[in-house]
Structure 1
């Protein structure tokens, strides 16, 4: 089982391609990684971003798929509308099943791009995705709808153009899952910790790994929520050997 992450590089390895690879390995699938941008950051501070040329991103993807059969991928930081368009074309070209983490802002608060990517994500990428995994802020950008309550999250989930889970880290632990228009809620206890850098990356990577192992989309989401929760709880975030 071979999967792919298309995302940026976090040199502290708490987010992006490096942590995705660790999550893939922990759950028992082989991960490949396509780099869309380099960043200078750590869990507490964001410094800068250096995007990779679109042609080179394309060559990275082609080189991996020339050698390996990949069905499931995840996308993270895509930096620009041009890169979003490229990834959308590659999904169609290779018939890939994509889980989209619509990354726009680092956990530390830094803007990872100089663009408002919501419009491009909605127009080009999400219609080709099997799932997107926004947090509250990202969901608000994708829907242009303010989310203050659980009811707001349900309404927002119905405005997103593909299956989605709106994560509940900033909504009292209420995760809103919308698959084919059917909405379910999974509430998790919030853990008081500073160990949250890259949580969205790990969630989307875990979902891809569980999908590759033959789980349904709903089961993959639920198992991944448990995986990330246990990782945070045990303080070994991103390196937990999955037993789920």
Structure 2
């Protein structure tokens, strides 16, 4: 079972491709990683971003696909509309099943992207994916709709252009899952901690790993929510071996 992450690099290892590879390994699949951008950041401060040229991103994807049979991928930080268009093209070319983490802002508060990516994601990327995993802020950007409560999150989930989970870290732990025009909510206990860096990366990569292990989409989401919860509670995704 071989999967792929297409995302940026966080040198502190808590988010981006490095975090995705740790999650893939913890759940028991082999992870490959395509780098879209370099960042200088840590869990508490964001410094800068340097994008990778689109042609080199394409070559990275092609080099992996030349040797491995990959079915499921996830995307994280894509930095620019041009990179979004490229990744969308490669998803279609290789018939990949993609989980999109619509990363726009770092947990530490830094703007990771060249410009607002919501329009490009809606136009090119979301129609090509099987799931997107926005947090409240990202869902608001994708839908141009303000989310203040559970009812708003349900309405927003119906506006997003593909199946989705709107994560509930900023909504009293209420996760809103929209699959095949059916909405369910899953409430998790909120944990008082500073260990939240990269939680979105870990959720989307866990979903991909569970999908690769022949779980259906909803089961993969539920298992991944538990995985991330345990990671937050224990403070270390890298040593978390899932038994789900």
For this structure pair, what is the TM-score category when the shorter chain's length is used for normalisation?
A: over 0.9
Structure 1: segments with no counterpart, 5+ residues: none
Q: Give the TM-score normalised by the residue count of structure 2.
A: 0.99
What CA RMSD, in Å, does the superposition of the two structures yield over aligned residues?
Answer: 0.5
Give me the whole-angstrom Cα distance separating, in 2, the residues matched to 1:238 and 1:184: 30
Between the aligned partners of 1:76 and 1:160, the Cα distance in structure 2 is: 17
Q: Which residue of 2 aligns with 1:49?
A: 49
The aligned counterpart of 1:7 is: 7
Counterpart-to-counterpart distance in 2, 1:119 and 1:102: 12
Shift of residue 234, structure 1, vs aligned partner: 1.4
Structure 2, unaligned stretches of length 5 or more?
A: none
> SS where residue 215 of structure 2 aligns?
coil
Residue equivalent to 1:122: 122
Partner residue, 2:206 = 206
Q: Which residue of structure 2 lines up, in the alignment, with residue 163 of structure 1?
A: 163
Q: Which residue of 2 aligns with 1:140?
A: 140
Q: Is the 8 A contact 2:22 2:237 kept in 1?
A: no
**1:187-230 CA distances to partner (integer Å, 9 max, x unpaired)?**
00000000000000000000000000000000000000000001
Question: Which residue is 1:184 aligned to?
Answer: 184
**Helix, strand or coil: the match of 1:184?**
strand
**1-structure distance, mates of 2:117, 2:42:** 23
Q: CA deviation at 1:235?
A: 1.7
Distance in 1 between residues matched to 2:17 and 2:123, nearest whole Å: 24
Q: Secondary structure at the match of 1:158?
A: helix
Between the two proteins, the alignment pairs up a number of residues equal to 244
CA contact (8 A) 1:195 1:237 kept: no
| Structure 2 match to 1:83 | 83
2:243 corresponds in structure 1 to: 243
1:197 alignment partner in structure 2: 197
SS of aligned partner of 1:47 = strand
- Displacement of 1:114 in angstroms is 2.2
Cα 1:228–1:95, aligned 2, differ >3 Å: closer, same or farther?
Answer: same
Q: How high is the TM-score relative to the length of structure 1? A: 0.99
CA distance in 2, matches of 1:211, 1:239: 21
Off by >3 Å, runs of 4+ in structure 1 = none
CA distance in structure 2 between the partners assigned to 1:2 and 1:114 by the alignment = 31
1:90-129 mapped onto 2 (5 Å cutoff): 90-129=90-129
Asked whether the 8 Å contact 2:12–2:42 carries over to 1, the reply is: yes
Deviations 1:32-87 (A, max 9, x none): 00000000000000000000000000000000000000000000000000000000
